[in-house]
Amino acid sequence: MTDHAEAAKQLFYQGYNCAQSVFCAFTEVTGYDLDTSARMASSFGGGLGRLRETCGVVSAAALVLGIVKGYDDPSDYDAKKRHYALVREFAERFRAECGSINCRELLTMAGLQPVSGGEPEERSEEFYRKRPCPKLVCEAARVLDEFLSEQ
């Protein structure tokens, strides 16, 4: 397990959502402090505000990729094209490892019946035991590390 993967898992067990756990594990890469990182990624937990759409760990990885490899000139079509291809490649690697990039599907594959919306669940031993999220934050951080080292 990479240092980022272990950090992401520990952050998740501290109560950060899935997206925050991954994004905050990469603070030395992004240059943002922990508090700013946690706020930036806070909306993406539960597949975007518990909508159960794109998994928060994938969104967090995309944020890291945007900071490290993103483009800032809206007229630079080639940079935009390269960046979107990079994000898609990361997503495909994550999908190959985990089976999906969709929160609802990942939870269903783990035997859960995900509910869209509503209040976040209280963190407890039972919460952590039944959810695939600790494994998913590790996998996202590991794949992102591999991906960044290849770029």
Q: Write down the pLDDT at residue 1.
A: 57
Q: How far is the C-alpha of 73 from the C-alpha of 107, rounded, in Å?
A: 37
**pLDDT, one tens digit for every residue, the chain (151 residues):** 569 999 999 999 999 999 999 999 999 999 999 999 999 999 999 999 999 999 999 999 999 999 999 999 999 999 999 999 999 999 999 999 999 999 999 999 999 999 898 888 889 999 999 999 999 999 999 999 999 999 7
18, 71, 80, 118, 132 from 75: Cα distances, Å: 33, 10, 9, 40, 40
